[in-house]
Chains A and B, each alone.
Chain A
């Protein structure tokens, strides 16, 4: 693939972010048409279990790349005024330049989005620094959330950092009123950290390594077992990016 001319040069960074359901996706395309894609929320790309989050790699098709280049050419600095609630932002940048806003009606951006949703999803099979997250049976009748590093590079995460007031958010959906959830409280993580069961501060989870986090106990008579989680990917300096998704599993009888 011969790279087309791009103002600002490569790499091209294409960011899709925001909204509800939450999307957090960063595509970085190099001049040789290779790309990496950061996927931090479950809803960012369609996928099937196990849930995979982190950085993945692939090669972009010429049509998609040309569309991306055209999007870059039309992007403008600044925001687009007031967007409707839940509007997901699309930003693009090239070289070392800042991110610029993609117009909401940019048809090439739509093509890029569709390429991401249908083709780039295949990159999930090529993890670079990523994790797989799923619920599993723990001790006794308890269930645990298991975060396992996949790919060829370590996955940098922060599970618990009392100095930064950082701790995971893990919940179980409870029966009864819609939206009722039970969360794992800060104290639980504090005890686990004191016991050495979970790491404190930035941790590099080597490929194949796992961290097991507690899930809230099920409600009385609860038949379904499902919930969600958020933990943090460590970035440069103080950067902490939320990594989120849902979990489900069969309750032990």
Chain B
């Protein structure tokens, strides 16, 4: 460092020490660092300021004086008078001050004084006298003034800002800006207290960031509050937008959170970010805030776009969740605007009931739709079953209108927990639902005709779900397939797809119709699991192994002769799974009960066969029915009669009874479980 010369501060201190020790003759060209004097007004000759400075450095002040005196008109010799007065044993300060006034009338003499007499005068004057002297020399640039005053001070720290404030105030801004460096910052730190530094930077009219930096650095021990800093923030003229932006960066946030309490932060953000709601809330979040303060910021922001953007701001979300109670969060999100899809997430995150949000929207008139109002009233009081019934009782149009908003579904999920699914189904149009179980036995007439038929019982525990919707009837069958050998496991996926396709294509034959509507009856099978258990085998089956609970994978490679049979057999089993009985090897009474006709009478359908045993007993098979012939029989209206009956038992008031009829157009297979 010393190779490059001392710093300005140390250099000035050194000079002053020398002055005090060696007297006026010891003054050097370095005695007034940072001095900037006005250009010399030459009347003759061509010596420039630079030349003068060079001369001063090389031959000293006296030579410069002689040079100037030689070149300028005859001097009044005030410099000699000044030297004389300064050389007196008792310094006549007043006379010197007076003389400085005279010197000021000659630019040449003033130049000589300003460039060579700082230390001499500082030794003679105290601060007050120096200020007087500088007045006589006015105008003198602000840094020069402060440098000379500093030199005059016995102890700079003993000075007060009041002693220099007027000089600062009186100086033009260009000269104040000369102080925006460490040299003068350190000087002011010595002169100012933690409080007067605020006044000082204010008087200096630096940019806001510099002002606050100096204050922050100086007033480290002071518990600064916004009130103290407000003069800087609300100065006249006010800080520019750029100034405010500079102290509104994230880097400044810790400073401000240290300065402000919650209330002050709310005030500060209006100053720093007058048109940025997100920034306001983010900084309030950093400091901590309360519901009223946050809400005030939101309601004071007319820009809807800004308010809506808050929903996507994680910091603001955290703030809202922390300052709001469960009842307040609804008010806050409504203040932000938007719609239910915006509101619900924050309310849910807070753990507040979504129903309360809906009610708050009603209270504000945001939800004026009577359907929503009524719905919210119900869900406030109703249990799930009651809510289900109310929704079922609603007219189609009203229900469709209610569903236009996501609000009802959300409220239902929120309020009814594990019972919500049921209520949601009603909201989505379900009218009735029943899990059906059919474990009836049937008696078939087994054995060859050469001997009396044997009555054997067959059955199964089939389970399916009927659901009657405003726009459809669904018949859902869940099957749990378990492959019992490696080949079956390998082919299970393709087999499932085959079975699913054939079952849905075969069974989706009917629709229901009445005077009001025509709705499809959708037969759906899922092999993804369910109450109906089936073992799946591979290889050639021998007769007893293929039945309702044991299916064989179609295997065109290894068992081509049975591939079609194995693919088709589950279509018949599906009929059992939805509650149908067999229509083969059955008595006439069985047919009367399950098929609705007596095959023993003349005129039986051409599809029905009749066998007779050795005792004359007859048994019948309907080869045209899927329940009588697993290899391609048809699904007939009687196979869905029980479903139609169930639907008609569950009609809404005013709904005419349905009857089934074949679906119009090509059969469409609705989505069923494949695997």
A residues at B contact (CB < 8 Å): 15-26, 38, 43-44, 46, 79, 81-91, 98-99, 104, 109-110, 113-114, 116-117, 164-167, 169, 171, 173, 177-181, 183-186, 228, 230, 232, 235-242, 244, 246
Contacts and interface: CB of A to CB of B under 8 A. Distances in A.
B450 A113 contact: no
Interface stretch (B61-69, B117-125, B399-407, B502-510): B502-510
A19 B546 contact: yes
Contact of A178 (B446, B506, B623, B629): B506
Contacts of B457: 79, 81-83
Contacts of A179: 506, 624, 626, 632-635
B606 A186 contact: yes
Contacts of A83: 456-459, 547
A104 B544 contact: yes
Interface of B: 441-442, 444, 446-451, 454-460, 502, 505-506, 509, 540, 542-544, 546-550, 561-562, 565, 569, 571-573, 576, 582, 584-585, 602-616, 621, 623-624, 626, 629-635, 662, 667
15 contacts: A15-B447, A15-B448, A46-B540, A46-B562, A82-B459, A85-B576, A88-B544, A104-B544, A114-B542, A165-B604, A178-B505, A179-B632, A186-B606, A228-B632, A235-B614
Contacts of B565: 21, 43
A17 B576 contact: no
A181 B629 CA distance: 12
Contacts of B623: 169, 171, 228, 230, 244
Contacts of A181: 607, 624, 632-634
A98 B606 CA distance: 34
Contact of A237 (B459, B548, B616, B630): B616
A178 B454 contact: no
Contact of A177 (B605, B630, B634): B634
Contacts of B606: 167, 169, 183-186
A110 B542 contact: yes
Given A87-B544, A177-B634, A238-B616, A166 B458 contact: no
Most chain A CB inside 10 Å of its own CB: which residue of B459, B547, B561: B547
A86 B572 contact: yes
A242 B544 contact: no
Nearest to A16: B543
A115 to B, nearest CB: 10
A87 B543 CA distance: 8
B485 to A, nearest CB: 15
A238 B451 CA distance: 11
Nearest to A91: B447
Contact of B572 (A20, A114, A177): A20
A117 B559 CA distance: 13
Contact of A165 (B455, B548, B602, B615): B602
B553 to A, nearest CB: 16
Nearest to B540: A117
A84 B632 contact: no
Contacts of A25: 543
A227 to B, nearest CB: 9
A16 to B, nearest CB: 5
A119 B545 CA distance: 19
Given A114-B542, A117-B540, 8 more contacts: A17-B447, A18-B456, A82-B459, A83-B459, A83-B547, A86-B548, A89-B454, A181-B632
A113 B544 contact: yes
B610 A84 contact: no
Given A165-B610, A186-B606, A89 B456 contact: yes
A83 to B, nearest CB: 5
Nearest to A173: B632
Most chain B CB inside 10 Å of its own CB: which residue of A109, A164, A232, A242: A242
Contacts of A20: 569, 572, 582, 584, 629-631
A183 to B, nearest CB: 4
Nearest to B450: A235
A19 B441 CA distance: 15
A84 B450 contact: no
A224 to B, nearest CB: 12
Nearest to A228: B623
A22 B447 contact: no
Contact of A169 (B561, B607, B626): B607
Most chain A CB inside 10 Å of its own CB: which residue of B455, B572, B585, B611: B611
Given A82-B441, A99-B447, A169-B606, A87 B458 contact: yes
A84 B547 contact: yes
B448 A117 contact: no
Contacts of A228: 623, 629, 631-632
Nearest to B633: A179
A79 B521 CA distance: 39
B630 A21 contact: yes
A219 B667 CA distance: 18
B460 A85 contact: yes
A235 B613 CA distance: 9
Nearest to B559: A46
A178 B607 contact: no
Given A88-B543, A117-B542, A239-B450, A166 B444 contact: no
List 10 tightest A-B contacts by C-beta distance, closest first: A179-B634, A20-B630, A183-B606, A85-B548, A113-B542, A241-B449, A86-B547, A178-B506, A88-B543, A240-B612
B33 to A, nearest CB: 106
Contacts of A166: 610
A241 B542 contact: no
Contacts of A16: 543-544
Nearest to A226: B632
A98 B453 CA distance: 12
Contact of B561 (A46, A99, A178): A46
A24 B446 CA distance: 10
Contacts of B569: 20-21, 86
A147 B609 CA distance: 18
Given A26-B448, A179-B634, A236-B450, A85 B458 contact: yes
Contacts of B509: 177
Contact of A24 (B448, B609, B614, B632): B448
A23 B447 CA distance: 10
